Amino acid sequence: MTEQDAYAAATGPAEAGSGWRRFRAATLPLSRTREDAESSVPGRTYGGVTRRPVFRHLARVAGLPAGRTPYRVVSIGDDGRANVTAAYHLAPAVPAGRPVRLLLTSDHQLMPMVPANLAKAAETAGGLLDGVLMAGDMVNVPDRASDWFDSTRRPAFFAAFAGRAVGRWPGAPILPNTPLYPTIGNHEVMGRWSATASLDEQFNDPQPGAWDVTTYEELFPVPRSEAGGPRWWSRTIGNVHLIALFATAIWRSPKLVGRGKFQEAAQDVDDPQRWGHGQFIFEPIARDSAQYRWLAAELASPAARAARYRVVMFHHPSHGLGHHSAPPFTDPVPTVRPGGITYHYPLADDHILRDVEPLLDEAGVHLVLNGHSHVWNRFRNAAGVHWLETSNVGNSYGAYDVTSGRSRALPDGYVQQGDPGGLSPIVPTVAPLTAPDGTALPYVASNEITVFTLLDSADGMVRSYRFDTVDPNAEAILFDEFPL
């Protein structure tokens, strides 16, 4: 169909015609999308925080034949003007039991290497993807509309995934042809609403019980579960059963001055409205929480048990070499002294290691996908569960391991090097990077080399590739693979 054909089909009286069918979308205005002086929007600048209308169209398409069917989206504004997309392709839900190929990624955050990463991922996969598993941190400030759609300063999330990002690399048209399966990272959570503070200030100002994921839930209303809505859910994709959890905490500075992970600012001690409450957890996942009970039931469900592979995805990496794997994922324990409030995080109380990991072990989960530290590393625990973080798609915060010689900038008593969960990192099996002395490195932590991972359930293999963005003519290199 031409654009004119598509417009005529969308606006005419018939619901179907020769070679086409029409499906109407439900339109939802997003309630919190805004811009401010820090936004970079085509043809416009903003002084203070300003509402920016964004509309979410959601349609259910039924009766698709096997294979991929071309489609266009026609969106008509209140003024009667229409936007008609290019022709993309839609496929029916993958039948249970059929092998699939999935892209594993996270932590895009408008980082400059992301479009190159996606371009090489699409090239390597040959365009044949059945889904994108996104382990959180898609943007920087979730209520800033341009972070999602059209930032002119850095590659916006959907722009890079549509192959129209700004800069040297346009990205790749992956999401117009492939389902996205996201989960919530700390950058999908907004802090307290304010009529005067900038969007960055609002994002950085959550308190326990005073935060929201409204924009995330309105953008991604599905998949969802009865217990958790779009915050935690499951979906069977061919022969893979995917479970997505809401397991993340507010990021606070590790510096030992001012408001941060380990203390309140001295000048704020007498003003609870200015407290940060340490690195508190947003949604409980500890034993006996609603999310924990749902996870236990879901792991025991017929759908999970029948699937060839079980994958669990959440943002926080309790097993990892990155800086953000410590302090432990637990509620901060406050100590109040005259003139000061400090916070401690007992390793024995890490909710993921103490409560969630035993559930995953017992259920025979094959793979856990995390993000957050902007690094690639992987582990395998005694129960045979693989833990993978493949978030080195933009800027890296480094790896903290004996092979790097680096130590986390944390107070005494916390794990400064290696995995806080006690596992040994696995050296890539095909072509690991090496240290200057030739030692094979069990991680990729680079601001020039970007990493993506493909899960191919036909042979049960997980393959990770790296690409050196300094050389645009370089090939993506397979550097690690392992069977589930």
Summarize the confidence of residues 210-233 as an average pLDDT. Answer: 98
pTM (2 d.p.) = 0.97
The 10s digit of each residue's pLDDT in 17-63 is: 999 999 999 999 999 999 999 999 999 999 999 999 999 999 999 99
The pLDDT > 90 percentage for the chain reads 95
The 10s digit of each residue's pLDDT in 301-347 is: 999 999 999 999 999 999 999 999 999 999 999 999 988 999 999 99
Q: Which fold has domain 93-483?
A: Purple Acid Phosphatase; chain A, domain 2 (3.60.21)
**Amino acid occupying residue 432:** P
Summarize the confidence of residues 199-204 as an average pLDDT. Answer: 97
Taken in order 103, 104, 110, 114, is the CA torsion positive or negative?
A: negative
End-to-end CA distance of the chain: 43
Within 13 Å of residue 91, how many CA atoms lie on the same side as its CB? 18
Summarize the confidence of residues 462-476 as an average pLDDT. Answer: 95
d(CA 205, CA 468): 37
d(CA 207, CA 279): 10
- pLDDT value at 356 more than 90: yes
Q: What is the DSSP string of 4-20?
A: HHHHHHHHSS-SEETTE
Q: Given pLDDT bands bounded at 50, 70 and 90, which one contains residue 128?
A: confident
- DSSP one-letter code for 454: E
Please give the pLDDT value at position 127. Answer: 72
Please give the pLDDT value at position 346. Answer: 97
Q: Which helix (H) or strand (E) holds 97?
A: none
Please give the pLDDT value at position 131. Answer: 98
Domain boundaries, the chain: 93-483
d(CA 426, CA 429): 8
8 A C-beta contact, residue 333 and residue 97: no
d(CA 151, CA 251): 24
- Number of Cβ within a 10 Å radius of residue 442: 23
The 10s digit of each residue's pLDDT in 359-387 is: 999 999 999 999 999 999 999 999 999 99
Picking from 273, 378, 274, 289, the residue whose alpha carbon sits closest to that of residue 325 is: 378
